[in-house]
Amino acid sequence: MSATATATKETGGAAKRAAQPSETINEVFHEAMQSYEKALKSGIQLQEESVNLWKDLLSKLGSPEELQAKLASMSADVFPNARKRMEEFIETFNRTSNQTMDLFEKTLNVYQATSVTDAQRRVQDLIECSLATLRVNVHTALNTNAKIMTSWKELADRFGPATK
C-alpha cells in the first residue's frame, strides 16, 4: 500500500472518530435547546394565565369601598409573601451569578490545556457543567412560575369565587 493510500485511510478513520464527539455535542446542544424552548413556552403560558387572572380579578371588583376593605385585609398577608418571593429571587440571582462565574472560569481553563486529551476532558467538563446549570435554571424558572401562579390564584380567590 502506498504512503498516500495509508495516509488517506488513516485520515478517514480520524474523521469518523472526530464525527462521533461532534454528533454527541450536537445531541446535547439539541437537548439543551429543547429544554430552553420548553421553558420559553412555560413563560408564555404564565403570561397568558396572568392576563386571564387579571381579567377575572378585575371583573369581580365591586364598589371602591369593597375593594378598599379587601385590599386592607390582604395587605397583612400579601406583603410578607412578596418579601419572601424577593428573598427567593435574590438567592436565585446570587446562585446564578456564581454559576456563571464558575462556567466562565471553566471556559478559560479549556485554553490552558496542555494536551489534546486534557483539552477534551476540560471541554467535556464544561459541557456537562453547562447542561447541569441549564437544567437547574430551567427547573428554578418553572418552580418560580408555579409559585407566582399560585400566589395570583390565591389573591384572585380572595376577591370572590371564579366566574366563567
- Rounded Cα gap, residues 155 and 85, in angstroms: 15
Type of residue numbered 63: S
Does residue 153 register a pLDDT over 70?
A: yes
Place of cell 438567592: 91
Q: Are 46 and 144 in contact (CB under 8 A)?
A: no
What DSSP designation does 61 have? Answer: -
At 56-99, the pLDDT tens digits run 776 776 677 777 777 777 777 777 777 888 888 888 888 888 88
Q: Are 36 and 138 in contact (CB under 8 A)?
A: yes
Task: Extract the runs of DSSP E, i.e. beta strands, from 58-160.
Answer: none
Q: What are the extents of the domains in the chain? A: 19-158
